[in-house]
């Protein structure tokens, strides 16, 4: 495995990161990293759309304090993994199932590095959608925490049939790589003001994300393409039709969620026997980027779940 860049100047991560390039089965180059933070097990962190490894430097520190190692990756088409279309800014994927190729390469890396077992999954936003599919496909984890999982995309009910029609026709017409209307090629964190943003109510964490993307703009992507939207709509609909897995689960959602479709999360958790659902007052989409009290609550609850299922 070839060493990949890791921007430790903005990561606020523990020392000792291992960061490498990985090749997927279809020839895409992605990036992965891990920290040997503890011996209890390894947290596999599946990040959201637009995200990148360095954003979760603080999470590695939090899990290290709780005696867990952590591994995370740049999905295809984002971070400094290979971009999939000529224009660098849009967030794009060919098929949503292609993310499972990234998971396969990532798991080979985790095993080759002999990271401590058992494994646990933490899936945030889009990573929660990819992670749920991975669980159905046999991802070898003992328990899972979901943070605002993308089991549906928030939009006005009147726009939903328009989104389906437009995103279905666009690839047929050779326009699947066009940005979804009303979205921007600029990354949301640098375009949106702190006041009223959809991500966090913690100014320091918002500044942390802005600083990362200002210093290293190659990490940033903007809005999704129409093909990404079609694939996401199809995948979330397909997952909604499946029964909940028989896996210990904690799902955490902010009461002010405005990015993913909260009713889809409520519906799934209502039919996941034995799962715990934590609705956090006065929190936005990014539970791991909220104020210190919310962050501590999130990591403590996750570690308690993982501790209970180490075997």
Query: 23: exposed, middle or buried (C-beta count within 10 Å: 0-12, 13-18, 19+)?
Result: middle
Residues whose CB falls within 8 Å of the CB of residue 135, separated by 6 or more in sequence, listed in order: 121, 141, 144, 245, 247
Give the orientation angle of helix 126-136 with respect to helix 226-240, to 10 degrees. 50
pLDDT of residue 1: 86
At residue 105 the predicted structure's pLDDT band, cuts being 50, 70 and 90, is very high
Name the residue ranges covered by the structural domains of the chain. 8-308
The answer to whether residue 115 scores a pLDDT higher than 90 is yes
In 3D space, the residue among 34, 42, 32, 33 whose CA is nearest the CA of residue 67 turns out to be 42
Summarised one tens digit per residue, pLDDT across range 231-286 is: 999 999 999 999 999 999 999 999 999 999 999 999 999 999 999 999 999 999 99
In 3D space, the residue among 171, 219, 277 whose CA is nearest the CA of residue 75 turns out to be 219
pLDDT of residue 289: 98
Summarised one tens digit per residue, pLDDT across range 135-184 is: 999 999 999 999 999 999 999 999 999 999 999 999 999 999 999 999 99
In 3D space, the residue among 109, 160, 194 whose CA is nearest the CA of residue 263 turns out to be 160
- To the question of domain 8-308 being in CATH 3.40.50.1970, the answer is no
pLDDT of residue 34: 98
Token reading at 193 = 């003001």
Summarised one tens digit per residue, pLDDT across range 39-81 is: 999 999 999 999 999 999 999 999 999 999 999 999 999 999 9
The answer to whether residue 92 scores a pLDDT higher than 90 is yes
Q: Three-state SS across the chain?
A: CCECCCCHHHHCCCCCCEEEEEECCCCCEEEEEEECCCCCCEEEEECCCCCCHHHHHHHHHHHHHCCCEEEEEECCCCCCCCCCCCCCCCECCCCHHHHHHHHHHHHHHHHHCCCCCCEEEEEECHHHHHHHHHHHCCCCEEEEEEECCCCCECCCHHHHHHHHHHHHHHHHCCCCCCECCCCCCCCHHHHCCCCCCCCCCCHHHHHHHHHHHHHCHHHCCCCEEHHHHHHHHHHHHHHHCCCCCCCCEEEEEECCCCCECHHHHHHHHCCCCCCEEEEECCCCCCHHHCCHHHHHHHHHHHHHHHHHCCC
Q: Round to whole Å and give the CA distance between 159 and 122.
A: 31
pLDDT of residue 138: 98
> Mean pLDDT, the chain, as a whole number?
97
| 8 A C-beta contact, residue 112 and residue 91 | no
| pLDDT > 70 in the chain, percent | 100
Instruction: Report the pLDDT averaged over residues 172-198.
Output: 96
């Amino acid at each position: 495995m070839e060493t990949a860049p890791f921007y430790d100047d903005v990561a606020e991560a523990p020392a000792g990161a291992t960061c490498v390039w990985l090749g997927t089965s279809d020839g895409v180059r992605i990036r992965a990293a891990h920290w040997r933070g503890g011996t209890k097990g390894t947290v596999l962190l599946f990040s959201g759309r637009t995200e990148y490894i360095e954003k979760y430097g603080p999470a590695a520190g939090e899990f290290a304090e709780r005696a867990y190692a952590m591994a995370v990756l740049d999905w295809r088409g984002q971070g400094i993994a290979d971009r999939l279309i000529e224009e660098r800014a849009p967030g794009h994927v060919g098929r949503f199932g292609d993310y499972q190729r990234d998971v396969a390469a990532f798991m080979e890396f985790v095993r080759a590095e002999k990271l401590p077992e058992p494994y646990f999954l933490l899936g945030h936003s889009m990573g929660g959608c990819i992670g749920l599919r991975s669980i159905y496909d046999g991802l070898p984890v003992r328990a899972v925490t979901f943070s605002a999982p993308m089991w549906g995309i928030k939009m006005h009910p009147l726009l939903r049939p328009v989104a389906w029609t437009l995103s279905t026709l666009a690839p047929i017409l050779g326009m699947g790589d066009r940005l979804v209307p009303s979205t921007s090629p600029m990354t949301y964190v640098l375009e949106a003001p702190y006041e009223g943003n959809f991500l966090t109510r913690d100014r320091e964490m918002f500044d942390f994300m802005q600083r990362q993307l200002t210093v290293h703009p190659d990490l940033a992507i903007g809005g999704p393409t129409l093909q990404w939207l079609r694939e996401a709509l199809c995948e979330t609909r397909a997952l909604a039709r499946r029964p909940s897995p028989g896996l210990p689960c904690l799902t955490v959602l902010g009461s002010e969620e405005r990015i993913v479709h909260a009713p889809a999360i409520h519906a799934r958790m209502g039919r996941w026997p034995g799962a715990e659902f934590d609705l956090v007052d006065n929190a936005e989409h990014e539970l791991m980027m909220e104020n210190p009290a919310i962050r501590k609550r999130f990591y403590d609850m996750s570690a308690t779940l993982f501790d209970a299922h180490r075997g």
